[in-house]
Amino acid sequence: MKWKPSSDSHLTFHEQIVDWMKFRIESGDWAVGTKIPTQRQLAIQFNVNRSTVQLALDELKADGLLQSKLGSGVFVTNISWNVLLNKTQPNWKKHIDSSIHRANDHTIQLINEYEQYNHIIRLGTGELSPELLPTKQLEQSLKEITLDAKSIGYSSPKGNERLRRVLCDYLKRRGIQSEPENILIVSGALQALQLIAIGLLEEGSVIFHEEPSYLSSIHPFQSAGMRMHTVMRNHQKLAENLKVFKRKRQSIFYCVPTLNNPTGVNWLLEEKKNLYNICKELQIPIIEDDVYHELLFDHTLPTLKSLDKSGQVLYLGSVSKTLSPGLRIGWIVAPSPVVERLADIKMQTDYGSSALSQEIVAHWISTGLYENHLKNLREQLKNRAAFIENILENQFRKIATWNKSEGGFYIWLRFNKPIVNKALFLNLLNQNILINPGYIYHSGDSHHIRLSYAYASLAEIKEGLHALLLLCNHE
């Protein structure tokens, strides 16, 4: 489907390529500063030899339209643009640089980019492997679903009513009492964080969290002008710490007390009670991000929300880690005024989540398909955890430590030496191995890698860990 030079043309391949690229630059699709694809990628797209691509690029460089930067690729240049083409176009770079939302960290951008390619071994991906996703069952359930006009129209602000009722029932098993009016359907738990940031907090608010933290790898709060403040739940002076920073500002406490991302840790009941009581006294709302709960291997644990008798806890869930991240369905359980406020903002942001996805999730939970699938999924994840722990035990015991997994996706591997830096990340990427280094969850961390046994195949895990080991021994 992509453009290719044609053998019917009266121009040579390399001339056609030059014209095509000029058109892309002139039209602004390749604006000044754009990094163009590599020679190899272009040769594949055009179905020509690399030498033909090289010829075309050389010509455009001679024209001053392209420029190589050593080691980082070929870029559309600045001068050429105005000089040669005598065109003006919006200065997009300036627009982007001065706009409100923070860019992703460069390591995370690379992760997002390379996760698209099939040849990459993904040792850290927080996502179910294709073989763990119930693809065929989902396809089957599409055949069973009946749609009415309501289910494909604009959604009501809080989301599909049936799904909200189904969720109330479902969450009861986890000790959470709610009514449909306390539930807001969102496009994944990440969107919930985004809505909370812009809908419940003023600029300059303080977000308390423990590091390492999933929140350090994304920026919904930071981009909304909030200040992150790291605390430790077991610190003797936790209450005092919270009090000092809270003083004149609004604040909220974010936590993942069950199967934490990235550490995999479960909080003790005592820790939950303690935090809840402190926050209640100080009137600091708590966000309990509980997207991994279903994946506890052996037994369920009480949620913070189940302790909550005062509407203190905003509880987040999602089917991304259990059923399909592509559905983009999550939920917030909260007091009605909060739900109403966030629903109002969601309507202003995207007019609700995919109605189709909501139908599917309601179908899966209400028919028990979901529960059955989870049983099987936990079994398989447990086997995968054992597999990776076995390799670690045999090969990494001398250089690293870790805890046995109690569920979810992750092992938080700690190297004795501080070897986990961007160089290691790039070095592995060069070997087509993608890791999630600890520093994206805790700036400055150079000891940890978040391993995931959820995504890669067992063979890939083995190969990837082997390459990692070689590199580590080499350091």
Ligand X SMILES: Cc1ncc(COP(=O)(O)O)c(C=O)c1O
* 465 contacts 428 by C-beta, under 8 angstroms: no
- Residues of this chain, 294-323, that bind ligand X according to CB under 6 A: 318, 320
Mark residues 218-257: x for contact with ligand X by CB under 6 A, - for none: --------------------------------------x-
CA dist 38 and 440 (Å) reads 27
Torsion angle of the four alpha carbons 229, 235, 239, 242, in this order, in degrees rounded to the nearest 10? -10
| 311 lines the binding site for a copy of itself (CB under 8 A) | yes
Q: Which of 116, 236, 394, 430 binds a copy of itself (CB under 8 A)?
A: 116
| 361 lines the binding site for ligand X (CB under 6 A) | no
Q: Which of 53, 200, 259, 424 binds a copy of itself (CB under 8 A)?
A: 200
Q: What angle do CA 402, 407, 410 make, to 5 degrees?
A: 50
Which residue has the closest beta carbon to ligand X?
Answer: 188
Q: What angle do CA 197, 200, 201 make, to 5 degrees?
A: 65
Q: Which residue has the tokens 């706009």?
A: 99
Q: Which of 100, 173, 375, 444 binds a copy of itself (CB under 8 A)?
A: 100
Q: Which of 17, 53, 56, 126 binds ligand X (CB under 6 A)?
A: 126
N-term to C-term CA, the chain: 45
Of 31-39, 187-195, 238-246, 361-369, the segment contacting ligand X by CB under 6 A is 187-195
Give one word for 71, left, alpha or beta, with left for phi > 0 and alpha for psi -120 to 50: left
| 351 lines the binding site for ligand X (CB under 6 A) | yes
Q: In the complex with a copy of itself, which residue's Cβ is closer, 284 or 468?
A: 284
Least distance between a copy of itself and beta carbon 187 (Å): 5
| 96 lines the binding site for a copy of itself (CB under 8 A) | yes
Q: Which two tokens stand for residue 354?
A: 């995919």
5 binds, among ligand X, a copy of itself, none (CB under 5 to 8 A by kind): none
Task: Kindly provide the b/e burial profile for residues 195-210, where b requires at least 16 CB atoms within 10 angstroms of the residue's own CB.
Answer: bbbbbbbeeebbbbbb
Q: In the complex with ligand X, which residue's Cβ is closer, 126 or 437?
A: 126
- φ, ψ of residue 251 to 5 degrees: the values are -155, 165
CA dist 62 and 50 (Å) reads 18
Of 256-264, 337-345, 431-439, 457-465, the segment contacting a copy of itself by CB under 8 A is 337-345
Q: Which two tokens stand for residue 94?
A: 């300036």
Of 308-316, 426-434, 438-446, 459-467, the segment contacting a copy of itself by CB under 8 A is 308-316
Q: Which of 469, 474, 455 is nearest to 120 (CA)?
A: 455
Tell me which residues touch ligand X (CB under 6 A): 126, 188-190, 214, 256, 261, 289, 291, 318, 320, 325, 330, 351
